[in-house]
């Protein structure tokens, strides 16, 4: 067993430092969300052509104008992205148990790069819709796996702060995307916005393949599919003799000239069975379920704010530059609030109960300030209270993801992040925008609509209060089902693989 443990262990890559990893992932996340903002910007999204009663027509602009899209088709572009994201997230998370997660990120970023370029080359509604779906597929690998890597390598006293820095790129990227899309669309053609994104992401896609991959805590190093399968078979039989026979049979099966149909069938059934077992574990984890339920209610409001906020502000307070005002508020409050939330939780000592306390307190206060803001008739009073409310509301990003990562054992973290992402979109921001639109059509009062929407934040705070009283265990240091215990080694199975020293290798070389 020690032979296989030593063979599969790998020292830290020469390029690696924790801060460098955080920087790379932050830039990738920023580019992801620049794309989200760019396609929603007026410069890229554009407008459809119009005709007057006299018969004079003007051509449209951007995607909507070039492809003559109605509002429904325009909205489908956003939904297509989400379909790719939501379908692929659990798939990438499940594959992380058999394929090196760092390489999976490289695969996903490659898909993202080619799909973004494809958006620029699209020629009709269906071609750009398919490309938007593939952009979502490419992003799915990154959002499922990046946070566990950051959590592994962040300093113990700054884990939530590092996660907050990473998630700070979401509001910052969207806001930059608005500006980027507006500038490119205003001075050239909207297609160049997507070409620019692809050029920016291409080096990171290449790095995912050429750099020596990192190992993720909770997973044994994957040098090859054959080695991983062999070790799994050895671990599955504790008698030793049976394990070696199983390993030998597996090597013979994989090296045979023709692929075994039954073997492939077994692998597929095994993957499906493992995925369903992981989902069951998540559903039975009360801490995880409560955390995600609160996150769904929270994202329901934030998603509708981002889509309807400028229009509501224009109608309620007659803002002539509502896009600029809401964009400015989002980037400033998003960055400061997200960083502050992570910093405060680390100062409180990052535990699951403390994370729930911070989530419920900041969301409750943020909801109160946002609700009061919409009650004011004065624009300046509204901006002051709404800015404080957004600052508090964005402080949730670090704590909520800390809980997702630490309430499950290490090997479950990718699927935990993936299913959290799937849930908050399917039940949160995807339905919230059309539902708010339907409600506004019914009441025909943007102030009333904004107040009702903001009230949902009180529900999110109440759900997170429940989490404070739930019994919880931080499972970050639990031994994974895929880790190999080597009693003859000085390396603890609890130690992240990135932090393994060369002591084991030295010990092996000194043996006769």
Q: How many residues does the chain have?
A: 512
Q: Is residue 130 domain-shared with residue 35, that is, in the same domain?
A: yes
CB count within 10 Å of CB 176 equals 19
Instruction: Say if residue 267's pLDDT is above 60.
Output: no
CATH at residue 212:
1.20.1250.20
Residues in Cβ contact with 196 at an 8 Å cutoff, skipping those fewer than 6 apart: 180, 184
Q: What is the pLDDT of residues 269-283, one digit of tens each?
A: 677 788 888 889 999
In the prediction, which pLDDT does 176 show? 85
Lowest model confidence (mean pLDDT) among 7-21, 132-146, 304-318:
7-21
Instruction: Say if residue 12's pLDDT is above 60.
Output: yes
Has residue 311 been placed in a domain?
yes
Choose one of 168, 200, 217: the last residue of a domain.
Answer: 217
Has residue 419 been placed in a domain?
yes
For 112, the domain range is: 15-48+61-217
Q: Is residue 19 domain-shared with residue 89, that is, in the same domain?
A: yes
pLDDT, greater one: 218 or 492 = 218
Q: Is residue 293 domain-shared with residue 419, that is, in the same domain?
A: yes
Instruction: Say if residue 383's pLDDT is above 70.
Output: yes
Q: What is the pLDDT of residues 252-262, one digit of tens each?
A: 444 444 444 44
Has residue 380 been placed in a domain?
yes
Has residue 159 been placed in a domain?
yes
Instruction: Say if residue 325's pLDDT is above 80.
Output: no
Residue 338 tokens read as 């997200």
Residues in Cβ contact with 343 at an 8 Å cutoff, skipping those fewer than 6 apart: 160, 161, 164
Dihedral-angle region of residue 444 (phi above 0 means left; psi in -120 to 50 means alpha; beta otherwise): left
Has residue 288 been placed in a domain?
yes
Residue 369 tokens read as 């300030």
Report the distance separating Cα 158 and Cα 346, nearest Å: 6
Q: Are 341 and 394 in contact (CB under 8 A)?
A: yes
CA angle 348, 371, 344 (to 5 degrees): 10
Distances (CA, A) of 44 to 47, 61, 63, 126, 314: 9, 8, 6, 17, 21
Lowest model confidence (mean pLDDT) among 119-133, 176-190, 229-243, 435-449:
229-243
Instruction: Say if residue 490's pLDDT is above 50.
Output: no
Q: Is residue 176 domain-shared with residue 288, that is, in the same domain?
A: no
Q: Are 446 and 312 in contact (CB under 8 A)?
A: yes
pLDDT, greater one: 348 or 56 = 348
In the prediction, which pLDDT does 220 show? 55
In the prediction, which pLDDT does 452 show? 95
**Average pLDDT over every residue of 309-324:** 75
Average pLDDT, the chain: 79
In the prediction, which pLDDT does 218 show? 61
Q: How far is CA 498 from the centre of its chain?
A: 22
CB count within 10 Å of CB 284 equals 9
Q: Is residue 184 domain-shared with residue 88, that is, in the same domain?
A: yes
Q: What is the pLDDT of residues 108-138, one digit of tens each?
A: 999 999 999 999 999 999 999 999 999 999 9
Q: Are 112 and 59 in contact (CB under 8 A)?
A: no
In the prediction, which pLDDT does 28 show? 95
Instruction: Say if residue 293's pLDDT is above 90.
Output: yes
Has residue 263 been placed in a domain?
no
Instruction: Pick from 289-298, 323-332, 425-434 the range whose average pLDDT is largest.
Output: 289-298
Instruction: Say if residue 497's pLDDT is above 50.
Output: no
Report the distance separating Cα 393 and Cα 327, nearest Å: 16
In the prediction, which pLDDT does 496 show? 43
Residue 402 tokens read as 């800390």
Q: Is residue 175 domain-shared with residue 282, that is, in the same domain?
A: no
Residue 309 tokens read as 């906020």
Instruction: Pick from 175-179, 183-187, 364-368, 490-494 the range whose average pLDDT is largest.
Output: 364-368
In the prediction, which pLDDT does 199 show? 96
Q: Is residue 208 domain-shared with residue 281, that is, in the same domain?
A: no
Q: How far is CA 214 from the centre of its chain?
A: 19
Has residue 78 been placed in a domain?
yes
In the prediction, which pLDDT does 454 show? 95
In the prediction, which pLDDT does 323 show? 61
pLDDT, greater one: 125 or 235 = 125
Q: Is residue 182 domain-shared with residue 318, that is, in the same domain?
A: no
Choose one of 217, 241, 260: the last residue of a domain.
Answer: 217
In the prediction, which pLDDT does 368 show? 97
3-state secondary structure of 376: coil
pLDDT, greater one: 39 or 494 = 39
- What confidence category does residue 263 fall into, taking pLDDT thresholds of 50, 70 and 90? very low
Q: Percentage of residues in the chain with pLDDT exceeding 90? A: 33
Residue 131 tokens read as 């490309």
Lowest model confidence (mean pLDDT) among 206-220, 372-386, 413-427, 447-461:
206-220
CA atoms within 13 A on the CB side of 137: 15
How are the residues of the chain apportioned to helix, strand and coil, as percentages rounded to the nearest 5? 75, 0, 20
CA quadruple 207, 209, 213, 214: dihedral sign = positive
Q: Is residue 174 domain-shared with residue 286, that is, in the same domain?
A: no
Q: Are 119 and 132 in contact (CB under 8 A)?
A: yes
Has residue 341 been placed in a domain?
yes
> Looking at beta carbons, which pairs linking 122-130 to residues 24 or more positions away fall under 8 Å?
124/67, 125/67, 125/69, 125/73, 128/63, 128/67, 128/77, 129/76, 129/77, 129/80, 130/80
pLDDT, greater one: 475 or 239 = 475
CB count within 10 Å of CB 27 equals 16
Instruction: Say if residue 238's pLDDT is above 70.
Output: no
Q: Is residue 134 domain-shared with residue 280, that is, in the same domain?
A: no
Instruction: Say if residue 8's pLDDT is above 50.
Output: no
In the prediction, which pLDDT does 479 show? 59
Q: Is residue 202 domain-shared with residue 331, that is, in the same domain?
A: no
Total domains, the chain:
2
Helices first, then strands: H and E counts in the chain: 21, 2
Q: Is residue 335 domain-shared with residue 464, that is, in the same domain?
A: yes
Q: What is the pLDDT of residues 151-193, one digit of tens each?
A: 888 888 888 888 889 988 888 888 788 788 888 888 889 999 9
Report the distance separating Cα 182 and Cα 185, nearest Å: 5
pLDDT, greater one: 340 or 434 = 340
Q: How far is CA 50 from the centre of its chain?
A: 38
Choose one of 169, 189, 217: the last residue of a domain.
Answer: 217
CB count within 10 Å of CB 506 equals 10
- What confidence category does residue 505 fall into, taking pLDDT thresholds of 50, 70 and 90? very low
């Amino acid at each position: 067993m020690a032979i296989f443990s030593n063979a599969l262990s790998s020292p830290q890559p020469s390029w690696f430092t924790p801060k460098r990893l955080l920087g790379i992932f932050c830039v990738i996340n920023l580019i992801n969300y620049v794309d989200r903002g760019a396609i929603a910007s007026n410069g890229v999204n554009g407008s459809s052509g119009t005709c007057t009663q006299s018969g004079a027509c003007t051509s449209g602009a951007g995607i909507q104008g070039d492809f003559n899209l109605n509002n429904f088709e325009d909205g489908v572009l956003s939904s297509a992205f989400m379909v790719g994201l939501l379908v692929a997230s659990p798939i990438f998370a499940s594959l992380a148990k058999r394929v090196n997660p760092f390489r999976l990120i490289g695969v996903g970023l490659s898909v993202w790069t080619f799909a973004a370029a494809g958006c620029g080359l699209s020629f009709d509604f269906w071609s750009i819709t398919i490309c938007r779906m593939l952009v979502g597929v490419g992003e799915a690998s990154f959002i499922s796996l990046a946070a566990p890597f950051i959590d592994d390598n962040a300093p113990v006293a700054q884990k939530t702060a590092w996660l907050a820095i990473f998630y700070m790129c979401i509001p910052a990227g969207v806001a930059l995307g608005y500006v980027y899309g507006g500038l490119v669309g205003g001075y050239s053609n909207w297609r160049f916005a997507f070409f620019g994104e692809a050029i920016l992401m291409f080096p990171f896609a290449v790095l995912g393949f050429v750099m020596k991959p990192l190992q993720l805590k909770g997973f044994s190093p994957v040098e090859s599919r054959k080695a991983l399968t062999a070790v799994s078979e050895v671990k599955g039989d504790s008698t030793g003799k049976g394990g070696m026979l199983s390993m030998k049979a597996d090597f013979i099966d994989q090296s045979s000239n023709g692929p075994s149909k039954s073997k492939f069938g077994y692998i597929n059934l095994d993957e499906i069975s493992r995925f369903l077992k992981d989902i069951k574990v998540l559903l039975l984890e009360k801490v995880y379920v409560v955390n995600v339920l609160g996150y769904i209610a929270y994202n329901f409001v934030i998603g509708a704010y981002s889509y309807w906020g400028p229009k509501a502000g224009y109608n309620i307070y007659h803002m002539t530059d509502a896009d600029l005002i809401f964009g400015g508020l989002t980037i400033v409050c998003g960055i400061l609030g997200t960083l502050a939330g992570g910093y405060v939780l680390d100062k409180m000592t990052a535990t699951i109960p403390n994370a729930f306390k911070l989530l419920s307190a900041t969301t409750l206060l943020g909801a109160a300030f946002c609700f009061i803001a919409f009650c004011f008739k004065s624009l300046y009073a509204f901006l002051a209270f709404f800015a404080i409310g957004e600052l508090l509301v964005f402080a949730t990003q670090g704590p909520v993801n800390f809980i997702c990562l630490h309430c499950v054992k290490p090997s479950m973290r990718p699927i935990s992040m993936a299913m959290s992402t799937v849930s908050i979109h399917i039940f949160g921001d995807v339905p919230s925008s059309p539902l708010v639109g339907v409600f506004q059509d019914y009441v025909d009062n943007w102030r009333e609509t904004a107040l009702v929407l903001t009230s949902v934040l009180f529900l999110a705070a109440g759900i997170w209060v429940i989490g404070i009283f739930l019994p919880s265990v931080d499972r970050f240091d639990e031994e994974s089902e895929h880790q190999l215990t080597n009693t003859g080694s000085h390396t603890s199975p609890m130690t992240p693989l990135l932090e393994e020293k060369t002591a084991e290798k030295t010990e092996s070389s000194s043996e006769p």
